A and B are shown apart, each in its own frame.
Chain A
Amino acid sequence: MPDLHGIIYAYHSSPELGELVSLRTSASLPFCSRYRLIDFALSSMTNAGVRDVSVIMQRSYHSLLDHLGSGKDWDLSRLSGGLTLLPPFGLFDSQFGEYRGCMEALSSIRTYIREIKQNNIILYRGDLAANLDLRDIFETHSASGCDVTAVCADKNAGCTGKGIRFVPVHGTSNVSNLMLFAGAEHENALPSLEVYIIKKNLLLDLIDWCRANGKIHFHRDALVHYLDSAKSIGLYIHKGYAARICSIMDYYTANMDMLKASCRNDLFSDDKPVYTKGRSSVSTYYGDMASAKNSLVADGCYIEGELENCVLFRSVRVHKGAKLKNCVIMQDSVIGENANLNYVISDKLATFSDGLLLSGNEHLPITVPKWRTI
């Protein structure tokens, strides 16, 4: 069992996710027919033998709580330790549990962090679609002698999503430069997956420094401060698929990526299974007139129409004559007879009337909110 404690941050959703996050946090975004994004963080912890995991949340966390339950689906419902939920916790000197940045969030749970038995903490984005090998990352971290290890995507892996980049020091695996701004160009810059292993005591020091100096951000404040004192950060390059889900387009692209066997096999392998909340449903039924091509379909669907390049979640109903192309349809949605949808992202429980014609395009998929009837 690695000397590692997991903290997943699920308190922030990028506003560019629009309606998809109006009722949920990005960590609980449904993904690839039957998962929520946070399943990847939780499963990689479980698969690496990390037994103590906490989740920081702030707003719109009903769907997240509903999904997590006791944590038993990830084997995290334990007699001691296991899953700990950390909803907003207002200390007297904070703003009533409102935190503006990661360091402020960590600051509000400082007492929790102080009690952690393990000497290392892994900070993990809840909205990252990647199946990280935490055992390997932890071994690399321990062997490097660094106090912080940053997990980055391979430069050529085509990691989607904007964000922090790291530039490795020439000839070493350590990093000195931290490039903070989206789009920053540097030929060796590696996109950060914003997953870090950090020594517990260092994290406590950084929390205290940030609090004392009125700083709130992890990268911009804490890491820059740490690097300024001539320290370096260890680097781990994740070779497999990784997507940071920060916008509707990121979300759509990542779902469509799953139609490619290479991406799908990277995320879902038998030796590192991805666990999720169970839902008892029937197998999917395809009717006499159904047709399906290049699509991913979860259990519980009832399909009488046609699918092409689609990702269908559980218990979707596609009536006769309906044609779905390039769509992501979340659970319990109903597509009426002869409806024709192209480049549509449908949130849960949406209803599309008979004969409806709705089309976005590949650069701008249409998002249909939860419960909406069109």
Chain B
Amino acid sequence: MKKECIAMLLAGGQGSRLHALTSRAAKPIMPFGGKYRIIDFPLSNCANSGIDVVGVLTQYQPLQLNSYIGSGQPWDLDIQRGGVYILPPYQSAGEKGEWFKGTANAIYQNIAFVDMWEPEYVVILSGDHIYKMDYSDMLEQHKANGADCTIAVIRVPMAEAHRFGIMNTDNNGFVTKFSEKPKKPDSDLASMGIYIFSWQKLKKYLIEDEADASSEKDFGKNIIPAMLGNGEKLYAYAFNGYWRDVGTIDSLWESNMDMLSPTLIDLFDPTWPIRSRSPIKPPHYIGENAEIQHSIITEGCDVRGRVTNSVLSNSVVVGEGAVVDYSILMPGCVIGSGAVVEYAIIGENAVIGGGAAVGKQPDGMCEIRITTCGPNSRVKANARIGAGEMVYAGKEER
């Protein structure tokens, strides 16, 4: 079955820098912005861009991810000729099955899946970015340039450029130089980890890269430098909107806080809806003595206390007299009566006992330290969990 363009979404990463939060589930399934999971952003972008075949490459803790994606119906991707496909590592006859060794190897192992659709172009996406982007516009530019590869780029502050894949381009966007996480960056154009490749070209490089024992099988480290070195046509696609990599606790917290400023990213825009699988929950209830300001609240919540500057996913309970400030409460977590939670990320179904104090910043500190309680973790009544601490499910209970 022929499709002009399909998408491959890399969703197998562990997200080890999120520590307790991703100990039981992959990063792309992380709740975000109240209503969403991180993977809703690339999936919705695909659906809105008219890409109706999406291969989702899974590896680390895939159970929740698989059941969340299901038939793809919430993103309108449950269609007869296409749809969303979960692609775990698998075993072939006569070969020893193996894990995905890197981003490029994950696609290499699924060459047969891509070939099934005979696409001209393949979009490579990550499952850990928050942004709204029209891939069809990027594809138009890719075609107009006659490019072999188009890389979406965004300008970043020079001081942070060393954390990204950095590109130098000429006036037409033609990539002249690419350096992965350079120590001394000479450009502020950072790769967003979103690529469009002409499939036959990419396939050739994937096969060559696989044969190279010294390669790390990574797009940024191996495939892009190899193509550039061979004089293939690489172009940058400039993106100006909101884009965040939410790979660390700090960036996850900051990006959630950004959702409280609708000027940064407009999620109310009906022309580019970000869709998600809804839990079956009644509306949220705000109690007689509740106070809510500058916050996001989702269906199924029951708020009796004071919530400010916070993001609440579905079915969160905030007891009478509890105070929640600058925090992210993931689905089903319970904040006991009189508990105080500040500058914290509370994982799914975690329970903070009554009167506990979580995340109090020490006086005189100028740098915020985010406290995290992992999914299903328990904090005892009246316990004190200091700024920057991490509570793991089952491991710690204080």
B is bound to A: yes
B89 to chain A, nearest CB (A): 32
Would B297 and A286 count as touching, CB distance under 8 A?
yes
List B contacts of A283 (CB < 8 A).
Answer: 33-35, 296-298, 311-313
B22 at the interface (CB under 8 A from A): no
A113 at the interface (CB under 8 A from B): no
Would B283 and A280 count as touching, CB distance under 8 A?
no
A116 at the interface (CB under 8 A from B): no
List A contacts of B273 (CB < 8 A).
Answer: 280
Contact with A along B295-313 (1 / 0, CB 8 A): 1111100000000000111
Would A282 and B286 count as touching, CB distance under 8 A?
no
Would A286 and B293 count as touching, CB distance under 8 A?
yes
B285 at the interface (CB under 8 A from A): yes
In the complex where A292-B290, A297-B286 touch, is A284 in contact with B297 (Cβ < 8 A)? yes
Tell me the interface secondary structure of chain A in the complex: loop
A194 to chain B, nearest CB (A): 24
Tell me the interface secondary structure of chain B in the complex: loop
In the complex where A274-B280, A293-B290 touch, is A284 in contact with B296 (Cβ < 8 A)? yes
B64 to chain A, nearest CB (A): 19
Would A297 and B35 count as touching, CB distance under 8 A?
no
Q: Which of B9-17, B260-268, B360-368 contacts A (4 or more CB under 8 A)?
A: B260-268
In the complex where A278-B74, A278-B278 touch, is A292 in contact with B283 (Cβ < 8 A)? no
CA distance in complex: A223, B312 (Å): 52
Would A302 and B280 count as touching, CB distance under 8 A?
no
CA distance in complex: A288, B292 (Å): 9
Would A286 and B283 count as touching, CB distance under 8 A?
no
Would A287 and B287 count as touching, CB distance under 8 A?
no
Q: How many A-B Cβ pairs are below 8 Å?
A: 102
Contact with B along A285-325 (1 / 0, CB 8 A): 11111111111111110100001000110000000000000
List A contacts of B313 (CB < 8 A).
Answer: 283
B95 at the interface (CB under 8 A from A): no
Would A292 and B282 count as touching, CB distance under 8 A?
no
In the complex where A282-B34, A299-B35 touch, is A33 in contact with B290 (Cβ < 8 A)? no
In the complex where A33-B282, A278-B74 touch, is A299 in contact with B299 (Cβ < 8 A)? yes
A59 at the interface (CB under 8 A from B): no
B288 at the interface (CB under 8 A from A): yes
A89 at the interface (CB under 8 A from B): no
List B contacts of A178 (CB < 8 A).
Answer: none
CA distance in complex: A370, B378 (Å): 48
In the complex where A293-B290, A302-B268 touch, is A284 in contact with B284 (Cβ < 8 A)? yes
Question: Which A residue sits closest to B277, measured CB to CB?
Answer: A278
Partner of A286 from the list B35, B274, B281, B295 (CB cut-off 8 Å) is B295
Partner of A307 from the list B33, B286, B311 (CB cut-off 8 Å) is B286
Interface size class of A (residues with CB under 8 A): 35 or more
Would B276 and A280 count as touching, CB distance under 8 A?
yes
List B contacts of A284 (CB < 8 A).
Answer: 284, 296-298
B275 at the interface (CB under 8 A from A): yes
Contact with B along A141-164 (1 / 0, CB 8 A): 000000000000000000000000
Would A294 and B282 count as touching, CB distance under 8 A?
no
Residue among B33, B268, B283, B313 with most chain A CB within 10 A? B283
B241 to chain A, nearest CB (A): 17
Question: Which A residue sits closest to B75, measured CB to CB?
Answer: A280
A259 to chain B, nearest CB (A): 8
Question: Which A residue sits closest to B279, measured CB to CB?
Answer: A273
A118 to chain B, nearest CB (A): 26
Question: Which B residue sits closest to A313, measured CB to CB?
Answer: B283
Question: Which A residue sits closest to B73, measured CB to CB?
Answer: A72
Contact with A along B107-141 (1 / 0, CB 8 A): 00000000000000000000000000000000000
B294 at the interface (CB under 8 A from A): yes
B291 at the interface (CB under 8 A from A): yes
Would B286 and A292 count as touching, CB distance under 8 A?
yes
B82 to chain A, nearest CB (A): 19
Scan residues 311-349 of chain A and give those whose CB is less than 8 A from a CB of chain B: 311-312
List A contacts of B74 (CB < 8 A).
Answer: 278, 280
List A contacts of B293 (CB < 8 A).
Answer: 286-291
CA distance in complex: A144, B106 (Å): 62
Would A287 and B294 count as touching, CB distance under 8 A?
yes
Partner of B285 from the list A281, A286, A296 (CB cut-off 8 Å) is A296
CA distance in complex: A278, B268 (Å): 16
Partner of B35 from the list A34, A281, A289 (CB cut-off 8 Å) is A281
CA distance in complex: A302, B296 (Å): 9
In the complex where A283-B297, A285-B262, A286-B294 touch, is A296 in contact with B283 (Cβ < 8 A)? yes
List A contacts of B280 (CB < 8 A).
Answer: 273-275
Contact with B along A66-80 (1 / 0, CB 8 A): 000000100000000
List A contacts of B260 (CB < 8 A).
Answer: 285
CA distance in complex: A264, B74 (Å): 27
A32 at the interface (CB under 8 A from B): yes
A130 to chain B, nearest CB (A): 15
List B contacts of A293 (CB < 8 A).
Answer: 286-290
Would A295 and B33 count as touching, CB distance under 8 A?
no
List B contacts of A300 (CB < 8 A).
Answer: 268
In the complex where A278-B74, A297-B297 touch, is A286 in contact with B292 (Cβ < 8 A)? yes
A268 at the interface (CB under 8 A from B): yes
List A contacts of B283 (CB < 8 A).
Answer: 32-34, 296-299, 311-312
CA distance in complex: A32, B287 (Å): 16
CA distance in complex: A275, B278 (Å): 11
CA distance in complex: A273, B280 (Å): 7
Contact with B along A109-128 (1 / 0, CB 8 A): 00000000000000000000
CA distance in complex: A297, B292 (Å): 13
CA distance in complex: A281, B268 (Å): 7
List A contacts of B287 (CB < 8 A).
Answer: 293-294
List B contacts of A295 (CB < 8 A).
Answer: 285-286
Contact with B along A215-257 (1 / 0, CB 8 A): 0000000000000000000000000000000000000000000
CA distance in complex: A74, B267 (Å): 27
List B contacts of A261 (CB < 8 A).
Answer: 285
Chain A to chain B: the 6 pairs with minimum beta-carbon distance, closest first:
A283-B34, A33-B283, A268-B282, A283-B298, A292-B286, A280-B275
- 23 A-B pairs with CB atoms under 8 Å apart are A33-B283, A72-B73, A264-B282, A267-B282, A280-B74, A280-B275, A282-B33, A283-B296, A283-B297, A283-B298, A285-B296, A286-B295, A287-B294, A290-B294, A291-B291, A291-B293, A292-B292, A293-B287, A296-B285, A297-B283, A299-B298, A302-B268, A312-B283
